[in-house]
Amino acid sequence: GIGIMVKVVGYARVSSKSQADNTSLAEQKRVIELYCSERGLELIGIFSDVGSGKSTTGRPGFESAMSTLADEDCQAIVGAKIDRLGRNTIDLLLLGETVREQGKEILVPGLNIDLETSAGRMFFRMLASAAEFDVDIINERFESGRKATRRAGGNIGGAPPLGKRASDKKHAPYEHSKTAA
């Protein structure tokens, strides 16, 4: 007999406009398409967002992917990487619960996530926690850089500090090396 292809929906996300302008969204879509074609899955659409993954709210592409997933014909949501689906532990866990309650699946290339087993759910929770940890580390690095710039007398944006003009250098002062003429 003729086998019925399993229908899936894809989701891709980048954090910023600059990432959207390079190959990141296109690369995620390529990864999703390849994954589906290798497994004989019928990809009925790929939705995408440009914005933070810290929250699932305010992401119209994500909402469209989820409403497509809720359709009885669609069996899974496919993301290129777990952190593209979300970078907030609670939101990812809610996603996992929603998908499981619908009897659907989350598919990510290279990860075997089975929300029907306790081990699969534990694995998913660990991945969700790791995605949020990564965001925390990045934020700590940015804050450390901002503090170092302030300590060096630089301005990181906003109103210039008292005694400085907006035309003054925004970043920490640095020495110019003088060359002999």
Distance CA 99, CA 101 (A): 6
Task: Give buried/exposed letters for 120-157 (b at 16+ CB in 10 A, else e).
Answer: bbebbeebbeebbeebeeeeeeeeeeeeebeeeebbee
Residues 6+ apart with CB under 8 A from 56: 62, 86, 88, 91, 94, 95
Which of 15, 37, 118, 177 does the annotation list as catalytic? 15
Quick one: which H or E segment has residue 7?
strand 7-14
How far apart are alpha carbons 82 and 97 in whole angstroms? 15
For helices 89-101 and 118-151, what crossing angle results, to 10°?
Answer: 160
Q: How far apart are CA 84 and CA 109, in angstroms?
A: 12
15 is catalytic: yes
Amino acid sitting at position 134: D
| Residues that are catalytic | 15
